[in-house]
Chains A and B, each alone.
Chain A
Amino acid sequence: MKHIELSRRHILGAGAALAATGLAGCAGMGGGGPSIGKVVVVGGGFAGTTAAKYLRMWGGNVDVTLVERGDAFVSCPISNLVLGGHKQMTDITVPYSGLDKHGVKRVKGEVTAIDAQAKRVRLADGTQLPYDRVVVAPGIDFMPEQIGGLQAALDSGQVLHSWKAGPQTVALRKQLTDMADGGVVAVSIPKVPYRCPPGPYERACMIAGYLKTAKPKSKLLVLDANPEIQSKKALFEKAFADHYKGILEYRPNAELKEVAGGGKVAKLEFEDVRADVLNVIPPQRAGDLARTAGLVNINNRWAGVNWLTMESTAVPGVHVLGDATFPAPAMPKSGHMANQHAKVAAAAIIQLLKGEAVNTAPVVMNTCYSFVTARDVVHVASVHQYDAADKTFKAVPGSGGVSAAANQVEGRYALAWAQNIWADMLA
């Protein structure tokens, strides 16, 4: 231990000396020495914001620029509560300005290309940002071409996905409140893998809860392309039966084939379902930038990564985080996991910039809370340790699990989780 303290002191001393002679990096770097490298982070979601903050917090003198096209972070987790009428958009919106005190430089803009040869990120307005390493956290984009008529229905706003929180959340809430009592709402769930495995079932509970209170003659059809509920199955089945009997009808193996009738008809394999509000969660793939940057190398959908560093297995120097990655076994696409990816990447990038060996035993974990009523919540949790032999994360046998039953204590924890993870990213 003494040796470490000595070498730390040595490094700090060296930094102070450089600062005194005017050789330190730019003002506000806060690292007490010259920059050890430039990192550009693309995407201000759960992964990108965490990476930017932790690179600065842990790296000190790493030059970090976050590029994001939106004005503020809007959280998908808790957004189903907005649909249910229990939360407002302001409750799930967090400004990016909290990153300023960490010395993260922020650029608002749209990244159009990553030139891995020249090590430059290009923006739509022509700006070019040089990097030593780049972090790409583009989340997901949709594959509407897999469902007939869906692209046009989404473009016209007749059908909403609301699977990226923001204006789509507001618009779906409005469709629900505008609907007359006695109407039919249908939610279409794509085959796995998709972002947030329990999310569609939480959404079903929130919509059904709203109908139960405000429009009790209405119905909710849950059209699941999968053969069964994909997460917390028994807990959601119980919630459907206990709270939403007669309102919510769950249909497995109900894959959406086509959207017709001005966005009011969901065509399944053997029947047509008419709905006043049709919410289609489309099939998903890695976000557009992962594709244009050549990072998509698995199933033509996802970006493969080296789990020790989160570096792309397709393009050197590019680290891919979050939902865009091809996951390790039993690893969910979740905001929580994206935040964990970011910490593995931040630690590794700092070591790579310094020419040090990277951590060979990273750990990530996931916690996901779902509201089944406005107050009752169920969780699923897992812990994943890196397996050196198989070069992937593996869920630890005997760890993790789900709630014994829906409960209000976890209702409080769920909101505290959101408060703390948003702060971990952005405060």
Chain B
Amino acid sequence: MLHVSRLAAVLLAAAAPLALAQDANLGRNLAATCANCHGTAGRAQGDMKPLAGMAAEKSLAMLADFKSGAQPASIMHQIVKGYTDAQLKAIADYFAAQPAK
């Protein structure tokens, strides 16, 4: 652990630390897996639910209900189980930060 935190300190000190740059894109990359149906950056068209600008707590509650089965779904109950809770959090945070239009 000491080694790791020393490394982290070194990275934090660097101008453009690689590990952080990667983390910065994590939500973006994961959320892009939703865009096929929910639109680029969550700006959906037609009969699909837009996700851009949705409060993270709201999306996470919805996703949790899909996962538990509390909220019946045609397909989302199957898709949501492919992502870890941390990944869902990153996705929800990303969409929350996107402008709705």
Contact = CB atoms under 8 A, between A and B. Distances in A.
A409 interface: yes
A420 interface: yes
A359 B26 contact: yes
Given A356-B21, A424-B40, A365 B75 contact: no
Contacts of A357: 18-19, 22
Contacts of B15: 7, 10
B12 interface: yes
B73 to A, nearest CB: 10
B78 interface: yes
Contact of B46 (A54, A382, A400, A416): A416
Contacts of B44: 416, 420
Interface string B44-88: 111110000000000000000000000000110011111100010
A417 B34 CA distance: 11
B7 interface: no
A382 B83 CA distance: 11
Specify the main secondary structure of chain B where it touches its partner: helix
Contact of A359 (B20, B29, B33, B83): B29
A403 B48 CA distance: 18
A420 B45 contact: yes
A279 to B, nearest CB: 28
- Chain A CB within 10 A, most for which of B22, B33, B38: B33
B37 A381 contact: no
Given A381-B78, A381-B79, A365 B25 contact: no
Interface string B81-98: 111000100000000000
A280 interface: no
B43 to A, nearest CB: 9
Contacts of A162: none
Contacts of A409: 74
A363 B87 contact: yes
Contact of A347 (B29, B35, B47): B29
A359 B74 CA distance: 31
A425 to B, nearest CB: 9
A417 B48 CA distance: 8
Contacts of B33: 340, 343, 363-365
B5 interface: no
A407 to B, nearest CB: 7
B46 A410 contact: no
B36 A367 contact: yes
B20 A382 contact: no
B32 A416 contact: no
A423 interface: yes
Contacts of A383: 79, 81-83
B16 A400 contact: no
A357 B23 CA distance: 11
A407 B74 CA distance: 9
A171 to B, nearest CB: 29
A56 to B, nearest CB: 12
B82 A7 contact: no
A385 interface: yes
Contacts of A360: 22
A367 B87 CA distance: 19
Interface in A258-309: none
Given A10-B15, A407-B74, A410-B74, A419 B46 contact: yes
B18 A4 contact: no
Given A3-B20, A410-B74, A399 B82 contact: yes
Nearest to A385: B82
Contact of A424 (B20, B35, B46, B78): B35
A166 interface: no
A362 interface: yes
B27 to A, nearest CB: 12
A410 B48 CA distance: 11
8 contacts: A4-B21, A340-B36, A356-B18, A399-B81, A413-B75, A415-B47, A420-B46, A424-B39
Interface of A: 3-4, 7-8, 10-11, 53-54, 57-58, 336, 339-340, 343-344, 347, 351, 356-357, 359-360, 362-365, 367, 379, 381-385, 395-396, 398-401, 403, 407, 409-410, 412-413, 415-417, 419-421, 423-424, 427
Given A365-B82, A424-B39, A427-B40, 16 more contacts: A11-B16, A340-B36, A356-B22, A363-B30, A363-B87, A365-B79, A383-B79, A384-B82, A396-B83, A403-B75, A407-B74, A410-B74, A413-B37, A417-B36, A423-B45, A424-B35
Q: Which 9 A-B pairs have the closest CB atoms?
A: A383-B82, A399-B82, A416-B47, A399-B81, A396-B82, A401-B78, A416-B46, A343-B32, A421-B36
